[in-house]
Amino acid sequence: MSRKVSSFPKARRFAVVRMDPVAMVEHLQDPLATGAAKEMRTQKYLVYLDFPQDLPMPDSEYCRYRVNVVATELRPAVPEKGITRDMVIPIHPNTQHARAGTKVTVTPAFPFSNCYFWIDGRLSLRVRVSRDRRYDNDKAYQLSIPQHVSLSDAFEHDFARINRFWRERRTMYAEEHIVEVSSLTSFGEPDDVFFAAMSSSFYTEESALAEEYVSSPDFSPERDSSPSSTPPVPPSITDLLSLNLFGWDEDPSFQFIPLVDLWLDLDEHLTESSIPNPVGLWKEQEKVGL
């Protein structure tokens, strides 16, 4: 039975990508930008195709994908966001920093034994259509649907740690703010001080949206809290088109999404020792955007 090939790679596949900075700036028709792009030395990076963000048409020049970077190193810490170096998931056969109950297994067997997924390691890429290239998706290294879902849940503990970090940070900030407020104003009860500090510092967008909803003439507490309330209206055609899945609406931000060539035969392009740090991909993107 012949294998199925396509013009675009399917989701849940591992891939090698390399950005094409010259193609990204050629629409500017700027000799300086083109010259700078030609001077860039881009690398091949290892990624995992999470899901496509477009519905490509026969004449589409590219398709956007949301991808997870794959690295051979622990994640760089970001202390101000509560992210630590150990927030990684090893890809089998790598067992370093493995977690109980979590094992990411690739089909067929992954060719590299030193790779990790990083928390907060997602970005969008534009995969360029190659008219003379077809992707053999069945032969590609991939995750099964259950493995793909388990990957989404694997960072749950780390997200809980990050949430705890932000709660503690808000509490510390509120306590510091209480001291500042109490030095200027006298309140009858400590709770009043806390409420004043919190309400002045943490009025969130969600609160604003909730207030707008409650104050709208269509809001009815009895109707909206009733179990028999009318179910939400499905999204309209206008709402769906606003996602720009077909790429019909020009979006100036698209030019800064890395335009890449992509290969599914990983071991033809990378070895364990040559897989670069994916931070370089973000730096390449920033350089083109300057």
Which DSSP symbol is given to 8?
S
pLDDT category at 228 given cuts 50, 70, 90 is very low
- Answer with the residue of higher pLDDT: 13 or 208: 13
pLDDT category at 2 given cuts 50, 70, 90 is low
The residue-averaged pLDDT of 107-123 equals 96
Helix pair angle (190-201, 156-182), 10° resolution: 120
Per-residue pLDDT at 201: 39
- Answer with the residue of higher pLDDT: 279 or 172: 279
Among 24-38, 56-70, 190-204, which stretch is predicted with the lowest mean pLDDT? 190-204
Per-residue pLDDT at 232: 57
For the chain, the residue count is 290
Per-residue pLDDT at 261: 94
Per-residue pLDDT at 227: 46
Per the listing, tokens 């202390």 go with 79
**pLDDT > 50? residue 276:** yes
Per-residue pLDDT at 202: 37
**pLDDT > 80? residue 3:** no
Helix (H, G, I), strand (E, B) or coil at 80: helix
**Is residue 142 within 8 Å of residue 107, measured between CB atoms?**
yes
Average pLDDT score, the chain: 80
**pLDDT > 90? residue 46:** yes
What pTM was estimated for this model as a whole? Answer: 0.73
Domains of the chain by residue range: 9-154+241-289
**Is residue 143 within 8 Å of residue 12, measured between CB atoms?**
yes
Among 109-113, 121-125, 139-143, 185-189, which stretch is predicted with the lowest mean pLDDT? 185-189
The residue-averaged pLDDT of 249-263 equals 81
pLDDT category at 50 given cuts 50, 70, 90 is very high
Whether omega for the bond prior to residue 111 falls within 30 degrees of 0, making it cis, is no
Q: What is the pLDDT of residues 80-100, one digit of tens each?
A: 999 999 999 999 999 999 988
The residue-averaged pLDDT of 239-251 equals 59
Strand (E) or helix (H) holding 46: strand 44-52
Per-residue pLDDT at 119: 95
Distance CA 174, CA 197 (A): 6
Strand partners, 48: 14, 68
Per the listing, tokens 């995750």 go with 143
The residue-averaged pLDDT of 47-62 equals 88
Q: CA–CA distance from 22 to each of 30, 198, 259 (Å)?
A: 11, 50, 10
The residue-averaged pLDDT of 9-26 equals 95
**pLDDT > 60? residue 214:** no
Per-residue pLDDT at 88: 96
Which DSSP symbol is given to 134?
-
Per-residue pLDDT at 246: 56
Helix (H, G, I), strand (E, B) or coil at 70: strand
Tokens describing residue 243: 């996602």
The residue-averaged pLDDT of 189-193 equals 41
pLDDT category at 290 given cuts 50, 70, 90 is low
Q: What is the pLDDT of residues 124-175, one digit of tens each?
A: 999 988 666 688 899 999 999 999 998 888 999 999 999 999 999 888 777 6
Distance CA 37, CA 23 (A): 9
**Is residue 107 within 8 Å of residue 118, measured between CB atoms?**
no
Distance CA 66, CA 257 (A): 11
